[in-house]
Amino acid sequence: MPQIVQVKSPVLAVVTDQTGYVKARNQAEKLSQKHGLTAADMPMAIQAMTIHPEVREAIRPGWIDTITGEYHGLRDGDRSYETWHSVGSLATAKGLEKAFSRASREDSFMQTADDEWIAIGKGNYNGQDVARIHLEDVRKGNVPAAGTPYTIFTLLDKDEANINVKGQLTYDAFMSDDRVLMVAGSPDNREALAKMLFGRKEDGGEGWSAIGSYHRIKDASFGAQNKGRLVLIDHHHFGLVGYYYDMSKGGRGRFVVVGAGGAVRATHENQGFSAPRNAGVSEETASPSVVKPTLEQAVIDSPDADWLYGQ
């Protein structure tokens, strides 16, 4: 059973049920509309956890899916690795549901329509301007505020991108890795995430000596068919991972929607109420609550490491 910790309202964020991937994304969409919140991309999730301890406690040590995607494609014949934050069809509930059934069983990539790929490359999507930022500018911190739709790109055969092979990264490797930077969305976000994951436990960190960055840049093709997949922050030291759960069974999803305010609401049904001893709240006066998974849940929900490391 999840632990429910009472905090004050208004709603700061909502964490969806752990359920089928598309079902969880659709649930996030409905919760966003109900509470006036937004499904979180990676920059938003990192900042929400950094600024609000309640959100971090609700998310960790479980995983959290985001609407940040990583993409492989060609731009004028050059291999382009890109991250799209809060933009593109996969960032929408309907678009993800449509593409999910055709996703690769090997690496979870989904085809990206040519007109979408071209529009994003021109900095416009569905009539909306989308900031398009080269990796070099991101390194300098020239990025929009979290929640603003924007994309980051690097041409692998022309730029000097420092992207480590997939696997576990030490602190120094993590802080210099450009794939980590592109997924996190900015140098500040990468630094905040590193502090959270590598930081000493006595200072509020998780104390890991290495954190994963799992991608398919050297394994998956950059052919004529452009493709993308959404990225998650996995639990424990697994780190930043392209979506990988078994899609033949509908996958597994756990999204978060965020906004300004002061609470995290659980979405599990019929879960009952409890509060820390001496918390000063009662069932009658209960406002939105934080779901904090137990360690046992985190271990049970953790994917097999050998399967993960293949992603």
Lookup result for tokens 């014949």? 77
Question: Which of 188, 190, 186, 206 lies closest to 198, judged by CA?
Answer: 206
Q: Helix 93-100 and helix 21-35: axis angle, to 10°?
A: 170
Alpha carbon distances (Å) from 26 to 59, 66, 163, 293:
19, 13, 33, 22
- 93-103: per-residue pLDDT in tens? 999 999 988 88
Least confident range from 144-158, 231-245, 268-282: namely: 268-282
Q: Is the pLDDT of residue 261 over 60?
A: no
Question: Which of 88, 219, 229 lies closest to 149, judged by CA?
Answer: 88
- 67-93: per-residue pLDDT in tens? 999 999 999 999 999 999 999 999 999
Query: What is the DSSP track for 224-292?
Result: SS-EEEEEEE-STT--EEE--S-GGGT--B-BEEE-SSSEEEE--TT------TT----GGG---EEEE
Q: Is the pLDDT of residue 58 over 50?
A: yes
**What is the spatial distance between Cα 143 and Cα 44, in angstroms, rounded to a whole number?**
13
Per-residue pLDDT, 236: 86
| Bridge partners of residue 14, in order along the sequence | 257, 265
Paired tokens of 160: 């000097």
Of 36 and 276, the one with more pLDDT:
36
Lookup result for tokens 């630094």? 191
Q: Is the pLDDT of residue 310 over 70?
A: no
Question: Which of 110, 118, 101, 40 lies closest to 70, judged by CA?
Answer: 110
Per-residue pLDDT, 264: 57
Per-residue pLDDT, 82: 98
- Look over the chain and give the mean of its residue pLDDT values, rounded to a whole number: 81
